[in-house]
Amino acid sequence: MKFKFSPFAALAFLLVPSAAFAQAQADPAGSGPIVAALGWLQGTLLGNVATAVAVMAVAAVGFMMLTGRLNWRFGATVIIGVFILFGAASIVAGIQGVAL
């Protein structure tokens, strides 16, 4: 059996990052204010106010679904979106646990 060189296979091999390379990278220099702003945004989106708004939204959507004023598919989309928003950290941790 003769080996055939494929430049596409070599290029694909070079572009696939390894797990060690992905873990070795740190925040770039000067990104402190950006990281702090994103941390503030995350705290705002997942804080007490957001939790209260999400509870009221799910209650309102559920009531509208039960009374027939809202499509069940749209209502389920809103409720699933809230679960994904607040469960994002657990979802990412689960994916990272499987990947490593």
Query: pTM (2 decimals)?
Result: 0.52
Which position has the higher pLDDT, 77 or 22?
77
pLDDT-derived band at 2 (thresholds 50, 70, 90) equals: low
At 60 the pLDDT is: 92
Query: Looking at the predicted structure, is the pLDDT value of residue 64 above 90?
Result: yes
Q: Vertex 64, ends 49 and 42: CA angle to 5°?
A: 25
Query: Can you give the pLDDT at residue 91?
Result: 86
Q: Check residue 14 and give its pLDDT.
A: 52
Whether residue 76 is predicted with pLDDT greater than 80 in this model: the reply is yes
> Which CA distances in Å does 38 have to 25, 32, 34, 43?
19, 10, 6, 9
